[in-house]
A = this chain, B = another copy of it.
Amino acid sequence: MATHDGSTRYHHGNLRPTLLSVARALLEEGGPAALSIREIGRRSGVSAPAAYHYFNSLDAIAAALAEQGFVELSESIDAALAGPRRNLLAGGIAYVAFARANPGLYRLMFGEGFQAYSKGNEAIRALRMQVYGQMKDDLEKRLTPEDVPNAALFLWSLTHGLALLMIDGQVEPGADPDAKVEDILKLAGMGLPAAR
């Protein structure tokens, strides 16, 4: 079997990271459904069962990718929250921007892709909660304590929903999607416009 640079060593030498980056490319090409252990092996220049030395299953690869995603999303939100505008709006914009830049990954992190039911996606749920906690912590600096839980869920719902609608192509693509996101998220602070 040949490595992807043409040489033909028996040992790949750098397989685990290669598998992950190939998997991630696959994920962005075709969404979570396109993740395939055989295809990952093929593109990595390696036979399919080789992956089983580093991951117990295809689901384990998906979980590793999701974990990467949560780290990156978390960093991205942190950066926005610490940036020049240091407000919730900036955090929300960063959140949606991450989803738009990594739609396959975002769907993996928050969609099915793991059997949403039955199985032990307990780890994923915890990672999601961590992101939620990040928003919540920030809200605690701004609101009275009893308002926080509902405000946090409100904000998360809005941001999550907007992110999904956008990566699902459900928002008519205007000239400047970032501006659109900002317009929508701004309404969170004011509520809907007054009735006429």
Residues of A within 8 A of B (CB): 29-34, 107, 110-113, 115-118, 125, 128-129, 132, 142-144, 147, 150-151, 153-162, 164-165, 168-171, 180, 183-184, 187-193, 195-196
A177 to chain B, nearest CB (A): 12
Contact assessment for A192 and B188 in the assembled complex, using a CB-CB cutoff below 8 Å? yes
Query: Known: A150-B183, A153-B165, A156-B165. Contact between A107 and B113, CB under 8 A?
Result: no
Contacts of A187 in B (CB 8 A): 150-151, 154, 191
A25 to chain B, nearest CB (A): 13
Contact assessment for B165 and A195 in the assembled complex, using a CB-CB cutoff below 8 Å? no
A116 to chain B, nearest CB (A): 5
Contact assessment for B107 and A112 in the assembled complex, using a CB-CB cutoff below 8 Å? yes
A136 to chain B, nearest CB (A): 12
Query: Known: A111-B111, A191-B189. Contact between A160 and B165, CB under 8 A?
Result: yes
10 new A-B contacts, CB < 8 A, other than A153-B171, A157-B161, A188-B192, are A107-B111, A107-B112, A110-B168, A125-B168, A128-B170, A153-B184, A157-B165, A157-B184, A159-B161, A190-B191
Query: Known: A125-B169, A165-B157, A187-B154. Contact between A112 and B113, CB under 8 A?
Result: yes
Contacts of A32 in B (CB 8 A): 112
Contact assessment for B31 and A117 in the assembled complex, using a CB-CB cutoff below 8 Å? yes
Contact assessment for A162 and B170 in the assembled complex, using a CB-CB cutoff below 8 Å? no
Contacts of A191 in B (CB 8 A): 187-191
A24 to chain B, nearest CB (A): 15
Query: Known: A153-B184, A160-B165, A165-B157. Contact between A29 and B117, CB under 8 A?
Result: yes
